Structure 1
C-alpha cells in the first residue's frame, strides 16, 4: 500500500514539474536549456522534479505578478472613467435644464 502511494506521488510530482517546465518561457529558465531540464525531470525520479521546482525556474519575489503591457480594462483606465463621469454629469445637467418650472417654487 505504501509503495503505491509513493509511486503515485512520484508520478504526480513528475507530471507537475514537467508541465511547469514545458510552459515556462525560455528566458525564465535558469542553469540548463529547457530540453535538458525535461530529460532531467523524466529520467531522475524525485531528484529531477524537485531540482526543477527549487532551482530551474526564475521566480518573482514576493509573488509579484508582472505588469501587463497591453490595453487596460475600461474600469481600470482613468481617462475612460473621467470621460464617463463627465458624460453622466452633462446628461444630468441637460435633463435638469429641460424640466420646466422645478426651480420656481410655484
Structure 2
C-alpha cells in the first residue's frame, strides 16, 4: 500500500513538473533548455522533477527581464500620453479663443 502511494506520488510529481515545464516560457527557464528539462524529468523519475523545481523552474514574480525597462503603469505615467494630452488642450484652448474673437467682431460690425 505504501509502495503504491509512493509510485502515485512520483507519477503526480512528474505530471505536475512536465505540465509546469510545458507552460513556462522558454526564455525564462533556467539552467537547461526546456526540451532538455523534459528529458531530465522523464529519465530521472523522482530526482528529475525535484531538479526542475529547484533549478529549472522560472523564478516566481520574475517581472521584466534584466535590462528591460518596464512600460508605464498608468496613462499619466506615459510621457507620450501626457505630451499628446497637452497638445490637445492647447489646440482646444486656441480654437475657443479664436471662436470668441470671431464672435466679438460679428457683434461689433
1:58 shift after superposition: 2.7
1:51-90 equivalent positions in 2, closer than 5 A: 51-60=51-60, 64=61, 66=63
CA distance in 2, matches of 1:35, 1:65: 21
TM-score, normalised by the number of residues in structure 2: 0.56
Q: Which runs of 4+ in 1 moved over 2 A?
A: 64-69
- What is the TM-score normalised by the length of structure 1? 0.57
Contact 2:31–2:56 (Cα < 8 Å) also in 1: yes
Residues 8 and 28 from structure 1, CA distance in 2 versus in 1: closer, same or farther, beyond 3 angstroms? same
Contact 2:10 2:46 in 1 (8 A): yes
Q: Distance in 2 between matches of 1:77 and 1:13?
A: 43
Structure 1: state its 5+ residue gaps. 79-106
**Distance in 1, Cα, partners of 2:22 & 2:11:** 16
Cα displacement string for residues 30-52 of structure 1 (whole angstroms, at most 9, x for unaligned residues): 11111110000011111000000
- How far apart are residue 66 of structure 1 and its match? 4.0
Deviation at 1:57, TM superposition (A): 1.9
Query: What residue in structure 2 maps to residue 33 of structure 1?
Result: 33
Query: Which structure is larger by alpha-carbon Rg, 1 or 2?
Result: 2
Q: Which runs of 5+ in 2 are unaligned?
A: 65-69, 77-109
For residues 20-77 of structure 1, the C-alpha deviation after alignment (integer angstroms, 9 at most, x for no partner) is: 00100011111111111000001111100000011102313xxx474897xx9xxx98
Q: What's the RMSD between the two structures over aligned residues?
A: 2.4
Aligned positions, number: 71
